[in-house]
């Protein structure tokens, strides 16, 4: 996986509304990239829902959230609505997983691994986290630890 200190690879992906979003758009702010395997996994509230509950606290620390999976924009739109979240979700759809692979956050079964990448205001990676398995969700506490 990509390491802290490295330049975060730039990318342009489409969000849930089909609009282009580039990492460069976030220059000047901190952004947390949340790589995750798939929309609509069969669990109750998982990391994106829980991060939504502490979004005000994260915003206070100057962090924006961006979710990335290989799902298409329409799935992202429906997933956002189902979860009741407003976190931007980007479609790493075609070429499949290109951005996840560039960040070393790829699971050979064909989807992004569950990782967190904190990019600082200058586009440098400040912190990363890799779940031991895609089934383990990183708690929001880990993000606050990284920001402390």
Partner 1 sequence: MSELGSAPVPPVGPEDHVRDGAAETVIVYADLGCPHCARDWFELGRSGRRVVFRHFPVRSKHPRAPDLHGAAEAAGLQGAFFDFVDSLYADRGHVDDPHLWQRAERFGLDLDRFDRDRRSDAVAARVRRDFESGIRAGVAGTPAVFELPDPR
Interface contacts to partner 1, rule CB under 8 A: 43-47, 49-50, 52-54, 57, 60, 83-85, 137-142, 144-145, 148
**Between 2 and 146, whose beta carbon lies closer to partner 1?**
146
Which residue, 18 or 139, has its beta carbon nearer to partner 1? Answer: 139
Least distance from partner 1 to the Cβ atom of residue 70, Å: 21
Q: How far is the CB of 59 from partner 1 (least distance, A)?
A: 11
Q: How far is the CB of 21 from partner 1 (least distance, A)?
A: 21
Q: Which residues are catalytic?
A: 44
Query: Which tokens hold the place of 19?
Result: 């609009």
Closer residue to partner 1 (CB): 124 or 142: 142
CB of 41 to partner 1, least distance (A): 10
DSSP the chain: ---TTSBPPP-EEEETTS-EEEGGGGTTSEEEEEE-S-SS-SSSS-HHHHHHHTHHHHHHTTEEEEEEES--HHHHHHHHHHHT---EEEE-TTTTTHHHHHTT-EETTTEE-SEEEEE-TTSBEEEEEE-SSTTSPPPHHHHHHHH-
Q: Which is nearer to partner 1, 25 or 46 (CB)?
A: 46
Within its chain, how far is the Cα of 73 from the centroid? Answer: 15
């Amino acid at each position: 996986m990509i390491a802290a200190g490295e330049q975060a690879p730039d990318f342009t992906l489409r969000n849930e509304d089909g609009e282009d979003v580039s990492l460069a758009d976030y220059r000047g702010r901190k952004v947390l990239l949340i790589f995750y395997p798939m929309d609509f996994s069969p669990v109750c509230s998982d990391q994106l829902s829980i991060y939504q509950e502490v979004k005000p606290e994260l915003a206070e620390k100057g962090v924006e959230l961006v979710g990335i999976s290989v799902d298409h924009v329409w799935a992202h739109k429906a997933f956002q609505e189902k979860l009741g979240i407003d976190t931007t979700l980007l479609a790493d759809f075609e070429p499949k997983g290109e951005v996840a692979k560039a960040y070393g956050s790829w699971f050979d079964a064909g989807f992004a691994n569950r990782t967190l990448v904190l990019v600082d205001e200058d586009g440098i990676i400040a912190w990363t986290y890799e779940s031991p398995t895609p089934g383990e969700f990183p708690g929001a506490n880990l993000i606050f630890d990284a920001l402390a």
